[in-house]
Amino acid sequence: MNQTVADVRRVLSIIARYEDSIRRPQEQRWTLVTGHPQWCSNNHLDQQNPVQGIKSLDFDKYYQYAKKCFCYLPFGQSVDSVLSYTYAKYDAVFVCRTPLIYKNMGWSSNNIFHTQNHIHKEVEPEPQGHGLSVETLKQLPELLERPAAVFNSLTKNNAYTALLDAKDNAGRVILVALQPDGRAYYQGQYVNETIALSVYGRNSIEQFLQRNVEQNAIKYVNLEILKELIPIPALQLLGSNISSTKSIQQPPAIPQPHTREDLTARISGHISDHPSPAPASPSISPERSKR
């Protein structure tokens, strides 16, 4: 497919909007901050024709990430609405569709929800709250897709703890407690779905990992991410118990229901308003336009 100037700008605009919303550091961004959204690296550019000369594979990589960002944005908008007290008073907050990594653990729920009370608690400064930045919390849908590890909860039946690829303002690794068989009130009805019970920075993460190893509670581990989060000496102390843990194999991603043309049209015509994820089922739809 030959990319036009409009194609490139539409794809980059959605990525840039998400990166702006979470205040992603420049060195980690896919897009540049200055002026119109641009490619992050000159390696993607044909110097003689810097837009239409972009390699197809590079454009496809950005396009695939733009589709993800399109689905990440609504949760961030909901967080803003919750914190400004304009969100529907009694509704739970839709976070994301349940990522495949958790479905492969046997979870039957299609969606993950969070509560307004927890959002307020999580961004409230310590010691009363968890002291998370709003920008970090807005990344929850993306972080849940690629956790460093997932454990059976040691304190609650049929619950899990995901270790995320993020740290709080104090430099602590962030965990999220998840209950797959939770219950939430959403858009006028109760739904049986996964509930994100709490998002928080964890003190003594090495001891936390050690207990989970001893209790054989590890369900999934991504060593590549874990090594970036935890000091190597600490991981070495845990021995081969972590390194030998089998990760859950994910099948190929299920294609998104919208086409490239559909996404382009939605970005072009509606992204400045309310991008919405695809509904999980006819009876439980995470789409909303409330502010």
Query: What pLDDT was estimated at residue 36?
Result: 58
Three-state SS at 25: coil
Query: What pLDDT was estimated at residue 248?
Result: 47
In this structure, which amino acid lies at residue 171?
A: G
Query: What pLDDT was estimated at residue 184?
Result: 93
- Mean pLDDT score of the chain: 79
Residue 161: exposed, middle, or buried by beta-carbon count in 10 A (0-12, 13-18, 19+)? Answer: buried
Q: How many CB atoms lie under 10 A from the CB of residue 35?
A: 6
pLDDT tens digits along 173-192: 999 999 999 999 999 999 99
pLDDT tens digits along 105-123: 999 999 999 999 999 999 9
pLDDT tens digits along 11-23: 888 999 999 999 9
Query: What pLDDT was estimated at residue 230?
Result: 81
2, pLDDT greater than 90? no
pLDDT tens digits along 210-262: 898 889 898 998 888 888 888 766 566 555 555 444 454 443 343 443 555 55
In the chain, % helix, strand, coil (3-state, to 5) comes to 40, 20, 45
pLDDT tens digits along 35-94: 556 666 555 544 444 454 456 667 888 889 999 999 999 999 999 999 999 999 999 999
pLDDT band at 284 (very low <50, low <70, confident <90, very high): very low
Of the candidates 27, 26, 34, 31, which has an alpha carbon nearest to the alpha carbon of residue 44?
Answer: 31
% of residues, the chain, pLDDT over 90: 47
Burial 215-225 (b: 16+ CB within 10 A, else e): eebbbbbbeeb
CA distances in angstroms from 203 to 117, 136, 171, 261, listed in the order given:
23, 18, 9, 46
pLDDT band at 271 (very low <50, low <70, confident <90, very high): very low
**Is the Cα torsion angle 233, 237, 240, 244 positive or negative in sign?**
negative
pLDDT tens digits along 124-163: 998 888 999 999 999 999 999 999 999 999 998 889 999 9
